Amino acid sequence: MQLFDACMGMSWITRAGRKADQHADAVPFRVGRDGQANFAAMNQAAANIYQRLGSEPRQMKGKSVWELFPDLKGTLVERELRQVIEDHTQISYEFFYPKDQHWYETKGYPASPGAILVFRDITPRKTAAHS
């Protein structure tokens, strides 16, 4: 997939091209030898979210999402991420992350290797819908 290739060739935290920019927060993953989802690249908007969660984006490169966010294991997030990586199918879901009390909409696209996840903070929309 062209977007993934572009991200892999860029510096660690940069804009991931026009397609990703229209989606605010793009987090490409690559699959490591052990089948784990490892961070490959991210844009500045995604880095800002991870900093808000207490992570240092530059130290995340190459690490497994499950190592960095063990609380996501066994959740919808893990099931969907494994589906896009292992089954090479597109995914789309919403989830609430208790750690930062935010709602996220996530779309995943198979890429070689791994997947590209495009996520957005939809907390304002969810809050307005419940008001």
What are the residue boundaries of the structural domains of the chain, listed by start?
Answer: 2-129
Q: Is the pLDDT score of 73 beyond 70?
A: yes
Classified by CATH at the fold level, domain 2-129 comes out as Beta-Lactamase (3.30.450)
**Residue 47 binned pLDDT confidence (cut-offs 50, 70, 90):** confident
Q: How much is the pLDDT for 85?
A: 87
Q: Is the pLDDT score of 2 beyond 70?
A: no
Q: Are 95 and 12 in contact (CB under 8 A)?
A: no
**Residue 75 binned pLDDT confidence (cut-offs 50, 70, 90):** very high
- Output phi, psi for 108, to 5 deg: -125, 140
Question: Where would I find the H helices in the chain?
Answer: 2-8, 17-21, 44-52, 65-68, 76-86, 123-129
CB atoms within 10 A of CB 43: 23
Q: How much is the pLDDT for 24?
A: 52
Q: What is the C-alpha separation between 67 and 107, in angstroms, rounded?
A: 22
pLDDT > 90: percent of the chain: 28
